[in-house]
């Protein structure tokens, strides 16, 4: 029987992974899906498919904000497919010291990265016990200035760079790899920081 490629194994996980919301928010009185829930759901599949899951964390600065960046990847020892997740540290959180604030940011970044890799949509989920209700948590980002989106000229330059890097390569595979590495599907609606991240990755492939 022909050995499955790493991409085929990832597709199988994305199609078959069942990860119920097994954690409970005692303040908001709702269930949510945690990083640990995802890991417990995927571990048996990783074992059966013979692949490893790697998780790495990195603190980064965006403007004056501290962000937690998490990279998750699956590998069969020869090939690797990765995705990223990001979370910004809040200025403060009632009842939490600085180390706990950082830990919560990294935990949420890991959850986002795992969701990006395994196609788990948690955009409507709140995350954990907190002092705010889910509706309040969703409204918070709208109260701050939103990152500027790229214009038509920037999109054209981005696509021109992609076409340049894609010469002599599999365009679909390159696009898939880029999306997995930056953690999103590039589009005309992406923000300037998102475009910069995608451009940086493309330059690394020249």
Residue-wise pLDDT tens for the chain (206 aa)?
Answer: 357 899 999 999 999 998 878 777 666 667 778 888 899 999 999 999 999 999 999 988 877 778 889 999 999 999 999 999 888 766 544 444 455 667 777 888 888 899 899 988 755 444 444 444 444 444 444 444 567 889 999 999 999 999 999 888 877 778 877 876 777 778 888 888 888 888 998 898 88
Q: What is the pLDDT of residue 53?
A: 96
46: tokens are 């990783």
**82: β partners:** 73
SS (H, E, C) 83-129: EEEEEECCCCCCCCCHHHHHHHHHHHHHHHHHHHHHCCCCCCCCCCC
Q: What is the pLDDT of residue 16?
A: 93
Q: For the packed helices 98-118 and 6-16, what is the interaxial angle rounded to 10 degrees?
A: 100
Phi and psi (nearest 5°) for 186? -60, 140
User: What contacts 113, CB < 8 A, 6 or more positions away?
Assistant: 55, 70, 71, 72, 83, 84, 85, 183
Residue 22's SS3 state is: coil
**Cβ 44 vs Cβ 55: under 8 Å:** no
In this prediction the pTM is 0.54
**Cβ 126 vs Cβ 25: under 8 Å:** yes
Q: What is the pLDDT of residue 132?
A: 41
Distance CA 7, CA 52 (A): 13
Q: What is the pLDDT of residue 80?
A: 95
């Amino acid at each position: 029987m022909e050995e499955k490629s790493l991409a085929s194994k990832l597709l199988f996980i994305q199609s078959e992974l069942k990860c119920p919301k097994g954690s409970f928010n005692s303040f908001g009185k709702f269930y949510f899906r945690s990083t640990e829930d995802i890991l417990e759901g995927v571990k048996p599949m990783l074992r059966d498919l013979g692949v490893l899951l790697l998780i790495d964390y990195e603190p980064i600065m965006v403007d004056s904000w501290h962000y937690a960046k998490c990279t998750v990847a699956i590998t069969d020892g020869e090939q690797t497919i990765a995705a990223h997740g990001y979370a910004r540290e809040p200025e403060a959180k009632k009842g939490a010291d600085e180390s706990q604030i950082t830990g919560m940011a990294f935990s949420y970044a890991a959850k986002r990265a795992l969701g990006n890799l395994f196609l788990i949509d948690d955009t409507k989920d709140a995350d954990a016990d907190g002092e705010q209700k889910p509706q309040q948590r969703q409204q918070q980002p709208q109260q701050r200035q939103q990152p500027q989106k790229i214009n038509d000229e920037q999109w054209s330059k981005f696509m021109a760079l992609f076409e340049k890097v894609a010469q002599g390569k599999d365009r679909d595979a390159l696009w898939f790899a880029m999306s997995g590495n930056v953690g999103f599907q590039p589009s005309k609606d992406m923000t300037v920081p998102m475009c910069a991240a995608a451009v940086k990755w493309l330059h690394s492939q020249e």
